[in-house]
Every structure is written in C-alpha cells, then in structure tokens.
Structure 1
Amino acid sequence: MDAVVWTAVGSLTVWLWLLLGQGFFWRTDLRLPPRREPADWPSVCVVVPARDEAGVLPASLPTLLAQDYPGRAEVFLVDDGSSDGTGELARELARAHGGLPLTVDSPGEPPAGWTGKLWAVRHGIALARTREPVYLLLTDADIAHAPDSLRTLVAAAHTGGFDLVSQMARLRVESVWERLVVPAFVYFFAQLYPFRWIAVRGGRTAAAAGGCVLLRADAAERARIPDAVRHAVIDDVALARAVKRAGGHIWLGLAERVDSVRPYPRLRDLWRMVARSAYAQLRHNPLLLLGTVLGLALVYLVPPLALVAGLLVGSTGTAAAGGLAWLLMTVTYLPMLRYYRQPRWLAPLLPVTAFLYLLMTVDSAVQHYRGRGAAWKGRTYARPGTVLDER
C-alpha cells in the first residue's frame, strides 16, 4: 500500500497546486474588462468562414446582421466549398432580415499547407481589407451574438488597448452527454490556458476562442494572420500566440451573451469534436501523449480510486489523501457548472468525464496514425509540414 499512499498524496499535492498556483483557472468571474464607449466608433468587418452550415445559419447569421453598432460595419461570409446551399441561404437570410451589409463569396478549395477554415478566413480578410477596417471580428457560423456584442467588444478593446479580445462562447448544454462533457471541456481549457495569465503583457500564455475574436487589423498584419498559422488545426490558440509573439496585447474571458447554437446530442458527436484536434494539441508527440495519459490518470482518476481502495483495506492515509483530492476537484468544478446552469451533483462525476477525455485523446492519436486524424466535414489534415489530404 505504500506506493498507493504516495500516489494519492501526489495527486493531492497536484490539486493543492492547481487550486492556488494555476492562475485561479477555476474561477468563472472573468468577463469583458471595464470599458468606455469611444467618441468616434472605429470601422469593423466581420469575417464568417462557413462550410455546410445550413442547419445552424438561420439561428446565427441574423444575430450578426442585427448588430446595434454605431460605427461602420459589414459582414463577409466565406462559403468554404459547402454542399448544402450555405451561401445561397446566407443571401436569403440577408434579404429577409436586412441589417448590416452582407457579402457572400467563396475562395475555392484550399491549397496544400492550408486548413479549409483558415483559407476561408484568409479570403474573408482580403475582402475586408478593401474597406480598410480598424477591427476584424472573426466569428464562426454557429455563433449567435447578442445585439450589443460587437459594440461591447470594440469598447473593451478600445478602452484596454487590446489588440485581440476574445470571448469563449457559451456552448449548448441540453442533451445528457452535453451536460456531462461540455462544461468540463471549458474547465480543462481554462486549466491549460488560465485566462488571467493570457492578459499579462510579455507572458507566455496565449489563447483565444475561435468563435469570437475581435482583432485589430494592423495587429493582424504584424502577426501575418492568417498566413502564419495556415496549417493549424487548433487555429484559435495558434492565432493568439502569433499575435502575442508580434507584441500584441490579448485578452480572453467567458461570454455572457455569445452562444454556440451547434448541437452535440450524442456522445459520438462530442467525441469527434474533441478527438479531431486532441493529438494535434500534443504536437503529434507520442511522449507528450504518454505524459498526458499518466497526468490525467494521476490528477483525475487516482483520487476516487484511492478513496475506495483506502476504505476497503483500512488505510486511513490513502482514503484521506484521495478523498481530499476528490473534494478539491469537485469544489473547483462547481463554478463552471454554475456558469453553465447545471446541477451541482454533476461535480463529483468529473473523474468519469476525465476518463472519457483520456479515451478521446488516445483515439485521436490512433486515428492520426491511421491517416484519419484531424478529420472534419469531409477533409482530413496531416500533421504540419506534410501535404494535406483533401477528401
């Protein structure tokens, strides 16, 4: 039992560090920073890459067209080779709803070395630059914005002197699997990229949420966006890193009224969402994969197992260390469940969700070595530096 005791103590030590030393990642009170409305509102172009989004576009695009923005703004939707009539539907929605001017265009298939989304973003930014905007809003086709979303983003960027302001859209949590997996997804993301560290000038931590990124046009040019990240599967984090490396000041927080309308009703839908990029996050490195699996096991699986083992064999130390670690895990997860308006009884189930993520990560590596990694909407992407396989 000595090895079990020390493993449980190690897990508890890690949780004490996570509680106090990882940028208070578990807190969910980081919203848009204080802001004042500018006297002269800068111009903004909204770029929306879209591939086979006819199912969600009626719930998202009208919210962009209806933005209550005092300055000049227009929307560019880039149809990335859709087969479901996404482009024509966007034009119909614009005719029916009015609002901000909408341009719909298509760049054709991406060349080798580009992901489809970033090739579409490149085309959209090129169209937008003909209008000479001060800001670019990069947003996904499944994101619905409150009427004042653009206004508050610009005011926050202007007041804080930020080159990039990003909000992590609130994802949908309606099905059983969404309730179990989605809040944990954001919790794990914040653990990897503590939001409070991201805004520190000169700090190493950089991340953004691709569904809602307001970016100064001149900062995009300095960072060579999107060319500098053209092969990135996890494009939002890569974009933020490029902007920060170029001297940009960035900010990321949780959104109040920016919501994803994309449903993930089944476990396999969520599995595909996570597995398509999990191994890319580990830079396709088997050693990092091994370390991640062992780390997930130590941090999330050991506490409940140590508690049960300690109680079964009468080892008070093992049970106490495992129980305290599980308690800290549960307590730090509660704020995220409150943010997602989910019941508190889900918090002790976080080890179950972590085990699912462990399996998804392993599956991501398996699919990569089978030549099917990073597959999304009919395209499969190889690791950076190799030719992309378009299917």
Structure 2
Amino acid sequence: MSGMNSDQLHRSTLGIYSSLMNEFNPSLQKLVSLGNRYVQAFQALAMTSEAYFSALSEIGERAFHTISSRSLGDVLIEISESQRRLTGELDGVFRRFSIEVLQQMDNNIRLDRDYISGSRKHYEMEVHNQAAALEGQLRRGANQDCSEYLQFLRESNAEALKEEERRYRFLSEKHCALIQSIAHLMNKTGGPLQQRADAWTVETDATRAPEVRRSLNNSVGMREEETGKSREELPLGNIPSRAPSPQGSISRSSGGQYVRARAAHQPGGSSPTLLPFTRGERITLLVQQPKNGWLFGRADSSSRQGWFPATYVEAMDDPPMTTCSGSSSLRSSSSMSNLLDQPAAPPPPPPPSLSSNKQTEMQPIPPSHSENKRSKPPGSQPELFPKGTNPFATVKLRPTSTDDRSAPRVHR
C-alpha cells in the first residue's frame, strides 16, 4: 500500500466507498428481506407442526383408553408433547434471530447510507481542497510539497478499509451468535431427546412380545394403575441432584429388586450422578419408586451407583441365585473341586508276573512322561478334561522323577 502513488490511492478509496454504497448495503437489504421470509416460513411450519402433533396427541389419547394399546397411546402422547416443547424452543431461537440479527441489520443499513454518503463527500471535498492548494503552489513557482497530500490519501484509504472490514465483521458476529444459539439448543435437547426416542422404540417393540399381550389381557386393573403412574413419572424431569440417603428409600442389597436393562444407557460427558450400562445388564434397584422418571441403582458389572431412566429397564421374573463377579477365579476352583470329587479310575489289570498281594496294594498313579505316549488300555474311563477343555492345559510342568515303590514292577 505504501508503494501506491496518489492517483492509485485516490481510486482505491473511491472504489471502497462505491462498493459499500452500491454492493454491500443493497446485498444486506436483500438479506434482511430473505431473513424475514425465513422467519415467516418457520411460523407457518410451527403452526402446521402444532396442528399435526395435536392430532397425533388426540389419537394417543384414544389409544390410551383402550385395553390393548395403552402403552402405545402413552408413547404417542409423549412424542407429541416433546415435539411441542421442541417447537417452542425453536420459536425462541427465531425470535432472537429476528430481533438481534434482522432488525439490527435493517437499522444499520438506513444509518449507513447517510454515514457513507457523508464520509465520501467529506473525503472528496478535502481532496479537492488539497489538490487546489498544490496547483496554486505550482502557479506561484514554489516548490511543491506533496508529502502532506500523500499522507492524507494514505490515512483516508486506511480508514475506508477499516470501515469495509467493520461491516463484514458485524455481519459475521451476528450470524456466529445465531449458530451458537442453535448449537446450544441442540446440546440441550439432542441428548435427552435421543434417550427418550430410544426408550419409546423399546417400549413400542416390547408390545410385539406375546407375554406382554397376555399380561395386558390378564391384569387389566393392575395395568390401569401402572399406566396411570407412568403418565406422571416416566416423562423425564430434572435429574435428582443427590443420591438418596441409605436410611431413606434405599433397600439393602440382600433384599433389593433386580431389573434388567432393555436398552443401553450411555450418558454423554462424565457425570458421576448417572449410571451407564449396556443392554441386558443386571441392575440392583436401590430406589423402588422413580423420581422425576429416574431410578437409582447399582450395576452388577461395575458396582457403580447412579441415576438412570426408568423406561430403560424391566423387572426380572427370577432373581439370580449367585453373583456373576469373580467368574474367572471360580472357574479354576470349581475345576479343582471336580477333579477332587471325581471317582478314582480302576487300576489296569496287572501283568501275569505280579504277585496277588501286590495287586491289592496298587493305587492309580499319574502316568509318567514316557507312559503318556502309550495307548490307553481298553475299558478305561474317558479323560477328565477332553482335549481343548482343560483350564490347566497351558501350564508347562517340569519333568519329575518318583521313587514310588508302590508302582508295579514289570519284569522283562
């Protein structure tokens, strides 16, 4: 920029003013008009959405008062209410967009027309005055000092560039705020809505099971009471801030109720108050009644305690008799107990050269390394651990020698 002469600086400054007046401001005015149409389109969409999901809620109400589809009606009503809340949140975003973005741009356009027009007229007048002063010096034969004139042109050009940058920055900042509002809404509603959608899918698929249909037909009165409670408790509210007191509603582990996860619960973030688990995992309930749609329990796999949605689990008919922890260590001990409880195999028939008193004293002994290569005598029992099932098969034993005098002596 410093290498530009006076004519280039003057043309650059006039080009910036012309771009702002003839291109930027008209484009911004068009953007405001499109934004107003965007808001109007959303308002029409919100009205149509309200009509659609209100009709869906009415169908859910009818299904809720039937015998066969009470749970499905409850799902439809909850979906309608969730959509209504989501539409309300979106309406708030569009209201802020209309007030903080569109109206601000519209106001700035009207003010900017006068400001840019006045700035350009002031610049052109100053250029004309300084050019006339230089021409007067030339006529008088005085030495021309153009340094002050060039400094003015450079400063005017730099100020015009700043004005141009300021307007594009204003446009970027307003739309960054809009995107942040949308991102905040997605973070606020996306995770919980996904969890509720998974729970609704599980509850809908559960109605395909024949045992669910039989329970609905056999216990209509009980189902009415349970669904009445689910209408009040299953919609998730705020997560309880604290775990319940052990002296309160927590049941002891010996008498706790077991439930099984019918959907995976993997909460985002690292909240210590939420309990993650996988589908099919067993959970011990520490709170028997849901609070705001949340239950408190302990996962048997990790022994971790926390809150989780009540719709993610189902009651277990038969509680397990033994725990699943320490299965790897129990396997080895049970294998050893089976080995010790196994009846001893009868000794093989002695060779003809053995005496009768030696036959009664012989006990079965483990075969030595050389005897493993021999074929098993006919009539012996099958192996205690067939090939591939012995948990100790990978243990390498050091070769040993024995001086067991009770072993049979074979005379060659």
> TM-score range with shorter-chain normalisation?
under 0.3
Report which of the two structures shows the higher radius of gyration computed on alpha carbons. 2
Q: Going by fraction, where is strand more abundant, 1 or 2?
A: 1
Q: Going by fraction, where is helix more abundant, 1 or 2?
A: 2
Higher normalized contact order (CA 8 Å, seq sep 6+, divided by chain length):
1
TM-score by length of 2: 0.19
